[in-house]
Structure 1
C-alpha cells in the first residue's frame, strides 16, 4: 500500500501495487523492476508483523528455560515450543483486540 495514491497520511491505496503495468515497469532509478522493489518492501512489512508476534517470546522462554515454572514439565531443547506458543498467544491476543475494537 506504500506504492499507491495517498489514502491517508500513513497509507496508500493498494490497487496500484497490484497493477501489471506498474509491476512490470522499471523503477524510478531504472535499476530493478518495480515488482522486485515491491517484493523487497513486502519482506520488511512481513518482518514487522513477525516482530510483533515475537514480543511475547521472552515471556514464554523464561517460563520454560532458566528455572522457569515449566522447565521440569516440558523438554524443549531446540526452542520450538517457545516460538510456537508465543506466536499463538500473539495471534489470539491480536484477534481478541480486533474483535473487541469492532464490536
Structure 2
C-alpha cells in the first residue's frame, strides 16, 4: 500500500509544480490555494509512504514522478519543447523510478 500512496503523492506533486507556475509568484489566489492544497496532500501521502519505504527511495520516486509528469504536461499543454534530448532525459527518469520500485522492499 505504501507504493500506492507514493504514486498518488507524486501526482499531487505535479499539481504543486503546475500550481506554482499558474500562481504567478503567489499573486493569483486560486492557483495559489490549489498549489498549497496539492502540496499538502502530496507531503502527507509521502510521509505515510515513508513509514515503510526507505527515505531515499521514496523521495527519489516522488520527485521523479513529479518531474517527469510536470515535463510531460508542460509539453502537452504549455507548448514547452519536446526535443529529442529532453524526451530521452525524461525516459531516463522514468526508468530510474521503475528501477527503484523493483529494487526496494514492500
Query: TM-score scaled by structure 1?
Result: 0.29
Whose RCO is larger (CA < 8 A, sep 6+)?
A: 2
Structure having the larger proportion of residues in helix? 2
